[in-house]
Amino acid sequence: MPADSAAPLSVVAFEGPLADAPFYISAKESVTRPRQTLKHGDTFIVLDNHGDIGAAAGGTDGLFHRDTRFLAHLELLVNSLPPLLLGSNVRDDNSVLSVDLTNPDIAKNNHIVLEKDTLHIVRTTFLWQATAYQRLGVKNHGDYPVTIDLAVRFGNDFADLFEVRGQQRQQRGAAHCRIVGTDRALLGYEGLDREARQTTLLFHPQPTKLDNNCAFYRLALAPKQSYAIFVSIECSQPEACKQPAFFNAMVLARRTLKAAIRSITQVQTSNDVFNEVLRRSMADLYMLVTETAQGPYPYAGIPWYSTTFGRDGIITALEMLWIDPAIARGVLRRLAAHQAKNADPLNDAEPGKILHEMRGGEMAALGEVPFGLYYGSVDSTPLFVMLAGLYVQRTGDTATLIELWPAIEAALRWIDSSGDQDRDGFIEYQRMTDRGLANQGWKDSHDAVFHADGRLAPGPIALCEVQGYVYAAKRLAAMCARRLGQERRALELEAQAEDLAERFEEAFWCADLDTYALALDGNKAPCRVRTSNAGQLLFTGIVRRDRALKVSRGLLTPQFFSGWGIRTLSSAERRYNPMSYHNGSIWPHDNALIALGLNRYGLKEATAYVLTGMFQAAAYMELRRLPELFCGFQRRRGRGPTLYPVACSPQAWASGAPFLMLQACLGLEFDTDGQEIRLRHPRLPAFLDEIALSNLTVGEASVDLVIRREIDNDVSFRVSRMSGAVRVSLL
């Protein structure tokens, strides 16, 4: 429409949504250098592609340990100038960041005294046991001697992770710095929580000069001579703690990563780019997996969510269940250990509820944020029961089931009592205090649940997909009860599930939209909005088949499917915004769960279509890494997807997404009692001719399979290795 004929623009008052979103993640500057991440245990580091921390605008740089930044600045200078970047890359297993640098032209009295590209500086960084290791290898490639000044500048603020995210604090603790000897700087902080935090920087060999913010080296290098500087940065370690030397620690870090994936199923395909996507996803997942007292747990993502999250851990474990069931066992045991025992309104806790988030920083300890042990998610509890049942189906591990059964029963009691606030048979949420999260489903933005006219829905809110989770949870819990010899309990749970399914169809189905309402609000009015939430219903099995077909068709229309994946919200809806966190963006894990649902209803072409779009998006991503989410703009020829500015990358459930989509395409099922692996109506997408699965296990047996796409899209397989009694069938 021409500007002069357009309707007058009305000025709408800004409603100040951040008042309802106190934990909003701010984005204030464009990133001037790409960032890379490394993680080990409870420690992660965000550096730029030069290997610096805090030297370039727009990043969330730092060395973080248990939700506190232990180093905010680390910068290398050559004669007071930043070196020039030659190249930067992370090893395929995510163990090491290697950066190649060189000197810029260095002038004195308007004459160049050192030409660029004379020095080669290799900067190598990795993490091991709460310590960041960095080596600076300097070599003079010139044919004349060079005297050069190298400076390693450092500093810290001991900021809580929520401060880095944008939270403001009225008061902070006291920071200090002291130099010990000639090679060590201690950065300390006395927090308001009365906990002393310390960063120890150790330089070897000792610098020419060391002060409170800089280690200075004057190097005289003969032609072809090399020199190495080692820096270790320890988080909260006592001064006397002896860390392993650089190369010993690097070997230990690599061995640990290799050991973690030695016994899991490996996937190789005929498509080299897809293999790169899978390798990166696998490496990211096992970097994020952290050994806890209860077993391995996938921390949610870097930088904002490198801690225990209930929902994220459960869904990641579900995605990886066919490849590595040990992750699910670790997730279940950890969440059972931290299951709420008492009511605590400040933390949205009620007996039987499963954890949403755990934090270990100063602000959580002081109650400035409610996330020390926080239970504000409506879906973690039914998802916990679901995962327990799926784990038992996959492994036949009755011993772990017996251990978990009291927690499962406590979770079911919460679903039937506190989870259903008005006793209408649907579970709903409403935060107990203004400190908690306003929305407590997986779409937890303040504006994620609304009516067709854009009005935000008042609570308590009953989300559609959560009712599906409850349905699946009760059916799977019935299977578990029967396995434990509790037939009466099994029949009771099955009857509850079927009753829920009938009432759900009546309350949530919107015939004119051919989909399910996003939610019921506090007045039991349906939010008649077309969202991907309805797609997640499919994998739970609560949906009637005729309606599942209608939902699936809608999800593959251009209003939902961008060409890269299924959006969280139809582009026809009032609040659609392709740059929104939850109202129009594309989430890989959401697409993976939808693909699993499409497979459940036999929609194999649609399943392969979703995997193809996500693979093609990943092919454009740096490192072939699928981020937490990306923007929902329509695909355009010759252009890749548009990134979301503050997405976590890597993110555990995004990394697990390709594996779940692959399982859905193959129709992989496991019968541990019958020692059988089934391929139910498998369909390979057009970009894959062959898939090789190594060490695919059922019980104590394992097989190697090669699966091929034949003429007319039929699929065949052959067993290339078998160990133990196992049968493979094609249905």
The continuous run of DSSP H or E covering 328 comes out as helix 325-337
Calpha distance 538→593 (Å, rounded): 8
Give the pLDDT of residue 60: 86
Give the pLDDT of residue 411: 98
Q: Are 514 and 558 contained in the same domain?
A: yes
Q: Which residues contact 299 (CB under 8 A, 6 or more apart)?
A: 39, 288, 289, 290, 305, 306, 307, 308, 309, 652
Q: Are 280 and 360 contained in the same domain?
A: yes
Q: Is residue 256 part of a domain?
A: no
Sign, CA dihedral 629-301-193-214, equals negative
Q: Are 244 and 290 contained in the same domain?
A: no
Write the DSSP assignment of 594-632 as a string of letters.
Answer: HHHHHHHTT-HHHHHHHHHHHHHHHHHSGGG---S-B--
Q: Is residue 722 part of a domain?
A: no
Residue pair 64/360 in contact by the 8 Å Cβ criterion: no
Mark which of 610, 644, 666 sits at the end of a domain. 666
Rounded to whole angstroms, what are the CA distances from 450 to 207, 441, 444, 517, 652? 60, 13, 12, 10, 28
Residue pair 288/655 in contact by the 8 Å Cβ criterion: yes
Q: Is residue 453 part of a domain?
A: yes
Q: Is residue 336 part of a domain?
A: yes
Structure tokens at 525: 């009015």
Q: Is residue 716 part of a domain?
A: no
Q: Are 203 and 291 contained in the same domain?
A: no
Domain that holds residue 651: 270-666
Give the pLDDT of residue 541: 97
Q: Are 274 and 161 contained in the same domain?
A: no
Domain count, the chain: 2
Buried b (16+ CB within 10 A) or exposed e, 427-446: bbbebbeebbbbbbbbbbbb
CATH of residue 549? 1.50.10.10
- Closest by CA to 724, choosing from 690, 698, 691, is 698
Give the pLDDT of residue 1: 36
Q: Are 244 and 275 contained in the same domain?
A: no
Give the pLDDT of residue 59: 73
Q: Are 107 and 197 contained in the same domain?
A: yes
Q: Are 195 and 308 contained in the same domain?
A: no
Q: Are 578 and 636 contained in the same domain?
A: yes
Give the pLDDT of residue 607: 97
DSSP type of residue 259? H
Model pLDDT for residues 513-568, shown as the tens digit of each residue: 999 999 999 999 999 999 999 999 999 999 999 999 999 999 999 999 999 999 99
Give the pLDDT of residue 12: 34
Calpha distance 132→532 (Å, rounded): 41
Q: Are 181 and 128 contained in the same domain?
A: yes
Give the pLDDT of residue 5: 35
CATH of residue 111? 2.70.98.40
Positions of the chain with pLDDT under 50:
1-19, 27
Q: Is residue 25 part of a domain?
A: no
Mark which of 647, 666, 685 sits at the end of a domain. 666
Sign, CA dihedral 247-248-251-256, equals negative
Give the pLDDT of residue 241: 55
Calpha distance 376→441 (Å, rounded): 9
Q: Is residue 470 part of a domain?
A: yes
Give the pLDDT of residue 8: 35
Mark which of 621, 638, 666 sits at the end of a domain. 666
Calpha distance 424→520 (Å, rounded): 11
Residue pair 436/370 in contact by the 8 Å Cβ criterion: yes
- Closest by CA to 677, choosing from 654, 653, 705, 712, is 705
Q: Are 233 and 348 contained in the same domain?
A: no
Structure tokens at 273: 């780019």
Give the pLDDT of residue 26: 52
Structure tokens at 640: 């890749």
Residue pair 450/517 in contact by the 8 Å Cβ criterion: no
The continuous run of DSSP H or E covering 719 comes out as strand 715-723
Backbone angles phi, psi at 656, to 5 degrees: -80, -15
Report the amino acid identity of residue 129. Answer: Q
Q: Is residue 210 part of a domain?
A: yes
DSSP type of residue 278? H
Q: Are 429 and 542 contained in the same domain?
A: yes
Report the amino acid identity of residue 466. Answer: V
Assign residue 692 a region (left: φ > 0; alpha: ψ between -120 and 50; beta: otherwise): beta
The Cα angle at residue 661 between residues 311 and 567, in degrees rounded to 5: 70
Write the DSSP assignment of 76-102 as a string of letters.
Answer: EEETTBPPEEEEEEE-TTSS-EEEEEE
Q: Is 675 exposed, middle or buried (0-12, 13-18, 19+ CB in 10 A)?
A: middle
